[in-house]
Amino acid sequence: MADPHSVDRVRALRDTLRHHNDRYYLADDPEISDAEYDELVRELQGLEQANPDLATDGSPSRRVGGSVGATFAPVTHSAAMMSLDNAMDESELRAWGDRVSRGLDGAAGQFVCELKIDGLAMSLRYEAGRLVQAATRGDGRVGEDVTANVLTIGDVPQRLRGAPAVLEVRGEVYMSLAAFNALNDRQGALGDKQFANPRNAAAGSLRQKDPRVTASRELSIWCYQIGLVEGGPTFGDHAESMAWLGSLGFTINPQTRVVDGLDGVYAFARRWQAHRHELAYEIDGAVAKVNNFEQRQRLGVTSKAPRWAIAYKFPPEERFTLLRDIQVSVGRTGRTTPFAVLEPVFVGGSTVGMATLHNQDQVALKDVRPGDTVVVRKAGDVIPEVVGPVLSKRPDGLAPWVFPARCPCPLDTELVRIPGEADTRCVERDCPFQRDARIIHFASRGGMDIEGLGDKTVFALSDRGLLADAGDIYTLTRDHLITLDGFGELSANKLLASIAESKSRPLPRLLVALGCKNLGPSASVALAATFGNLRSIMAATQPDLATVEGVGPVIAASVTRWFGQPRNAAMIDKFEAAGVEFGNVERSLLPQNLVGLAIVVTGSLDGFSRDSAEAAIVGRGGKSPGSVSKKTTAVVVGVDPGASKLTKATELGVPILDEAGFVYLLENGHLPEVLSTP
């Protein structure tokens, strides 16, 4: 028995550690250093080791582990982690059913139907009943060691009673919708990046270098397979093996059903397609598996997936909703984009209130009119799309939508469409909407990367007259920010810190952030390398600029014109007065994690302009070619992608990424394990 002093000390240490955990990862405002924190953890671990009767699974000593700062070592899976073949509709599911029946000479019996959890696959290895390793799927053969992080997942048993010598259990780590929404609320309140969907949030949370961050993220797991057993029971079928895992303490999804015959499979798939959003977590399909292990043996596997199982993927969801209005937004170059203002509708796992309509011709083609009931579609986390009107529901006398003749900004100037061009533009240089868009571009990830200074904050500051141009960003104070909606002391300080940090961005990024027409990342790198300083670039003559390799006469003319405008020169003066570095050429602050990768971007993205996306790639050592080839690492697809690039990528089997996947790639230097294919 532990002495009373140890009992009290352990209790006190646990409370203290929980408090510091909250300060660290919930409030993002730690009160003690990492070293002091580690010291407390070690003291607690020492006491728990000396007094095993005091140890509990929920102790913060266990939940965070001591491996802070661990990177992810490769793990070779003892049995390959296979993937599943997909059936994209019911006829493909039936075709699989027919193949299985034929493969078993018409004797197909029982199937296990499971939900296809939208998370990421995990392999848990237990030796003598202790969790010794947790690894991601990786390429199926080699994954990443994320043990320290998985130890923080409450659902994952760390000790098994009556376990075999070796046991490997596979399952899907996921984040419940409640945990996801709470996380995004917290991120939003702190001005931190929000996650696109629970799967990305789960993947991002598992790949944390600091397990304390993972611990704060409320991950869960559903287990769906035994990978390996040594020195343990053998089973005749899957259902039996799952029941055994359940008895050992693993979480087995309660919706799992054993059905007799294929009709049961089809019914299960249809049922969950209709009811998927009644669950507390996201699923992207249903999985059917032959139950009997001897039958599985007879069916065998292909190089990639077992023949005895299939994933039935749910089709993109469509919902009806009211099109309240069509409005236009104005970009930094004056280009206007119509977008649909919708009666908010829950589709594809989130509530959609707005959707882009791309341009005037697209609206005309779809002939959607304010007042129409429209079909809204969203597949995975692709940007929502208005498919078209439901004509049978169109009220009598509903007038077609007419593209506005004037800019929606307070200046109310005339919009211009040049014949032969798809875009209608605002050509007023002083348009406040363009100005806001230029400031948003300046602060965006591909520009000066000022975290927390997104659209909403820029609009709010601009409304108060605090941002006449990007130069004014550097004059913002706590008092300016604190009164904004959604801002508190913490988020104001955070934003001020990121503004201060942005002053030392490398020169090529500053150049891209300025938003000078035609001046993309490659030319910016060339100009920075040649002239070394923003002032020298400004002082250079147009012919001097034009001779720089990778610049040329068009860019040179545009750069000269841009710097020649008094208001731009005045903005540069503001930067200088604020201490923005003009000559940071040597140090790239970006990790060079994309060297050797070629990433093609097509369509428009939310957080990046075309230039800033290219800058983000080139700045990390990657290439951003204009077309897709065999050598392309990935194609990033935004709204309105080039059809030929998409087709080519599909033909060549080049991975396709959405924006969230792109951000992941930029941050991690490799493709996300789970491709959120648009």
Active site residues: 116
Binding mask 486-525 for ligand IVH (x = CB under 6 A): ----------------------------------------
CA distance 171 to 185: 28
Pick the piece of the chain touching ligand IVH (CB under 6 A) from 111-119, 148-156, 332-340, 653-661.
111-119
Judged by beta carbon, residue 299 or residue 375, the one nearer ligand IVH is 299
Contact present, 13 and 55 (Cβ < 8 Å)? no
Instruction: Compute the Cα dihedral for 65, 67, 71, 76 and give only its sign.
Output: negative
In the complex, the smallest distance separating the C-beta of residue 283 from ligand IVH, rounded to whole angstroms, is 8
Q: Which of 154, 249, 306, 370 binds ligand IVH (CB under 6 A)?
A: 306
Judged by beta carbon, residue 257 or residue 394, the one nearer ligand IVH is 257
DSSP characters over 134-203: EEE-TTSSEEEB-HHHHTT-TTS-SB-TT--SEEEEEEEEEE-HHHHHHHHHHHHHTTPPPPSSHHHHHH
Residue with tokens 């959405």: 658
Q: Which of 47, 121, 340, 527 binds ligand IVH (CB under 6 A)?
A: 121
In the complex, the smallest distance separating the C-beta of residue 80 from ligand IVH, rounded to whole angstroms, is 9
Judged by beta carbon, residue 20 or residue 116, the one nearer ligand IVH is 116
How many Å separate Cα 89 from the centre of its chain?
Answer: 27
In the complex, the smallest distance separating the C-beta of residue 112 from ligand IVH, rounded to whole angstroms, is 9
CA distance 628 to 199: 27
Classify each residue of 539-555 as buried b or exposed e, where b means 16 or more C-beta atoms within 10 Å of its C-beta.
Answer: ebeeebbbebeebeeeb
Is 224 among the residues that bind ligand IVH (CB under 6 A)? yes
Residue with tokens 């990390």: 620
In the complex, the smallest distance separating the C-beta of residue 237 from ligand IVH, rounded to whole angstroms, is 15
CA distance 413 to 427: 8
- HSE at residue 67, side-chain half, CA atoms within 13 A, is 18
In the complex, the smallest distance separating the C-beta of residue 261 from ligand IVH, rounded to whole angstroms, is 20
Pick the piece of the chain touching ligand IVH (CB under 6 A) from 142-150, 304-312, 342-350, 456-464.
304-312
Pick the piece of the chain touching ligand IVH (CB under 6 A) from 79-87, 94-102, 525-533, 607-615.
79-87
Q: Which of 83, 187, 493, 558 binds ligand IVH (CB under 6 A)?
A: 83
Token duo for residue 562: 């841009």
Binding mask 357-396 for ligand IVH (x = CB under 6 A): ----------------------------------------
Residue type, 645: K
Pairing outcome for strands 110-117 and 283-290: antiparallel
Residue type, 88: M
In order of 229, 280, 374, 411, the CA distances from 243 in angstroms are 15, 23, 46, 69
Pick the piece of the chain touching ligand IVH (CB under 6 A) from 4-12, 112-120, 589-597, 615-623.
112-120
Is 117 among the residues that bind ligand IVH (CB under 6 A)? yes
Binding residues for ligand IVH restricted to 263-292, rule: CB under 6 A: 287
Is 311 among the residues that bind ligand IVH (CB under 6 A)? yes
Token duo for residue 242: 């799952």
Pick the piece of the chain touching ligand IVH (CB under 6 A) from 78-86, 346-354, 383-391, 422-430.
78-86
Residue with tokens 């509903």: 398
Q: Which of 10, 40, 54, 82 binds ligand IVH (CB under 6 A)?
A: 82
Q: Which of 75, 84, 330, 510 binds ligand IVH (CB under 6 A)?
A: 84
Is 451 among the residues that bind ligand IVH (CB under 6 A)? no
In the complex, the smallest distance separating the C-beta of residue 314 from ligand IVH, rounded to whole angstroms, is 13
Q: How many amino acids of this chain bind ligand IVH (CB under 6 A)?
A: 15
**How many CB atoms lie under 10 A from the CB of residue 355?**
23
In the complex, the smallest distance separating the C-beta of residue 287 from ligand IVH, rounded to whole angstroms, is 4
Q: Please identify the residue of the shown chain whose CB is closest to the bound ligand IVH.
A: 121
Q: Which of 309, 340, 516, 572 binds ligand IVH (CB under 6 A)?
A: 309
Is 206 among the residues that bind ligand IVH (CB under 6 A)? no
Q: Dump strand ranges (E) for 551-674.
A: 599-602, 634-637, 656-657
CB under 8 Å to 86, separation ≥6 — which residues?
92, 285, 310, 311, 312, 313
Binding residues for ligand IVH restricted to 134-173, rule: CB under 6 A: 137, 172
Beta-bridged to residue 312, according to DSSP, are: 87, 286
CA distance 369 to 390: 11
Token duo for residue 176: 């419940």
In the complex, the smallest distance separating the C-beta of residue 433 from ligand IVH, rounded to whole angstroms, is 44
CA distance 501 to 509: 13
In the complex, the smallest distance separating the C-beta of residue 168 from ligand IVH, rounded to whole angstroms, is 13
Contact present, 356 and 337 (Cβ < 8 Å)? yes
Is 250 among the residues that bind ligand IVH (CB under 6 A)? no
* Residues binding ligand IVH (CB under 6 A): 82-84, 114, 116-117, 121, 137, 172, 224-225, 287, 306, 309, 311
